[in-house]
Amino acid sequence: MSKLHVGIDVSLRSHHVQFMDGRGQDLASFNVHNDQPGADTLIRKVLETTTAKHMDSVVIGMEATSNLGWHLAHYLQQQFDGYRPNLETDIHVLNARKVARFKKGYDTLPKNDRIDAWVIADHLRFGRLPQAMTDSVQFEALQRLTRTRFHLVQSITGDKTFFLNQLFLKFSGLRQDNPFSDSFGATSLAVNQELEPEQIVQMPLQELIDFLTDRSNNRFENPEETAKELQKVARNSFRLDKVMKDPVNLSLSVTLSVIQHMESEVKKLDKAIAKLMKAIPNTLESVQGIGPVYAAGLLAEIGDIKRFNNHSALAKYAGLVWNQYQSGEYEADETSCMRTGNKYLRYYLIQAADKVRRYDSEYAAFYQKKHDEALKHKHKRALVLTARKLVRLVFTLLTTNQLYTPPERRG
C-alpha cells in the first residue's frame, strides 16, 4: 500500500504543509490560508498527488495547537469521503510534546514552519501514532462545556490561593489556625469582611458569640468555645499598618467577588451539562459518586471507547501510568506518574475517584490501603492510584454497556 504523508504546521492565519512519501522523499511544500478556500486547496493538491503517484491512502497529521487546527481537521474529515471514497484517509491530532521529542533526533534542523511540517510528516511515516480522528461532534460539543468548567475550576483554585495569601496580611492568625472548618464558609467570610482583628479582641464575648451564631444560622455546637478561640487567634495575630488596611480589604473583596461569580458560572455549566447528558445514554452514572458532570467529563474526552484496546491503553491516554526506575538489581519502590496524557480526562477521573471512594466500600478500602502504604503525599498518591483502578471500571462499563453492581449487591 502506497501512502502519502501530510504534515501540517498550523497557525492562526496560514498553515505550512509538507507532502512526503513512504521512503521519506519530499513531494511538495507549500502554504495554505487558515480558511475554507485554503482547506479546499489542500484537498485538491492531495488528490492530484495521490492520483499522479498512484497512492491509495493518505495520513494527515497536525499538532494539537489550541483550536487553530480544529476547523481544518474536521473539514478534511468531512470532505475527503465525498471527493474520493476509495482513498483511505486517516487524520491524527498529535501531542506537541511528542513531536518535539521526535524532532530532537534530528540535531541539525533549524526551527521554522517549513521544518516543523516536515518533522510532522516524517513522524507520520514512522508510525506509532495516536488513534485517528472519528466523527464525534456530539462528544466535542460536550467537551466545550466540560473543558470550560475545568478552566473555571482551575481559576477558582488559583484565586482562592491568592485570597488566602492576602488574608494572611489582614489576619495572619486566621490564615494559620482558622477555628472554622472552611475558610470560604459563610461564617469565616463574614468575619473576614465585617471585622478587624482589633475589633474581635475588644468585643465582649457574648457579642462575638451572638455574631457567630447569627452568621452561621446557629450551626455551631459550642459557639462560646469558637468565639474564645477566635479571640485568641486575633490577639496573637500581627497588626497591619493603617496605610495597608484599605488596599488589603479591597483586594480581598474584589478577589472574593470574582471567586463567587465564577462559582455561579460553574453552576450554570453544570446545569447545561446535565441537560445535554440526558440525550447521551451511558452506564457510568450507575456508579454512586459519578453524577452527570463527571460522567460528561469522562465521555467527552474518551469519545468512542472502541478507540482503546484495553484499560491500560485508556490509562495511558489519561496519563495515569508510572515511570519505571530500574538499574541493575535496583528498582525503586516509588516512582512518579508520567506528566503526559489528556489532562482533562485525568482530572475528571481523579475527581470521580474521590467521590466514588466515599460511597463504594471496595474503592474506600483500596484508597485506605494505598494511603497507609504511601510514605509521603499520602492522600494525593492514594487518590491517583484509586483513579487508576477506576479506569478499569470505566473501560468495562463503556465496553459492555452494563450497569454497575456495588459490592454489597454482588452474589
* Average pLDDT by stretches of 10, the chain with 411 residues: 92 95 94 96 95 93 87 89 77 87 81 84 88 76 96 98 96 92 94 95 96 93 94 94 94 97 98 94 95 97 92 94 52 56 94 97 96 93 96 97 91 67
**What residues have CB less than 8 Å from 11, skipping those under 6 apart?**
34, 65, 68, 113
343 vs 348: CA distance, rounded Å? 9
Strands (E), 47-87: 57-63
Q: What are phi and psi for residue 278, nearest 5 degrees? A: -65, -25
Which of 112, 45, 113, 30 is CA-nearest to residue 76? 45
Beta strands at 3-9 and 14-20: parallel, antiparallel or unpaired = antiparallel
Domains and CATH numbers, the chain: 3-133 (3.30.420.10), 141-274 (1.10.287), 284-409 (no CATH)
Element (H, E) at 88: strand 88-94
Phi and psi torsions of 410, nearest 5°: -80, 145
Which residues fall within 8 angstroms of residue 28, CB to CB, at 6 or more apart? 17, 18, 19, 45, 49
CA dist 35 and 15 (Å) reads: 10
Distance CA 225, CA 402 (A): 52
pLDDT score of 326: 39
Residue 329: predicted pLDDT: 46
Q: Per-residue b/e over 103-129, b at no fewer than 16 CB within 10 Å?
A: beeeeeeeeebebbbbbbbbbbbeeee
Q: What is the pLDDT of residues 334-391, one digit of tens each?
A: 555 566 789 999 999 999 999 999 999 999 999 999 999 999 899 999 999 999 999 9
Q: What is the pLDDT of residue 135?
A: 63
- pLDDT the model gives residue 98: 85
Cell numbers for 78: 468531512
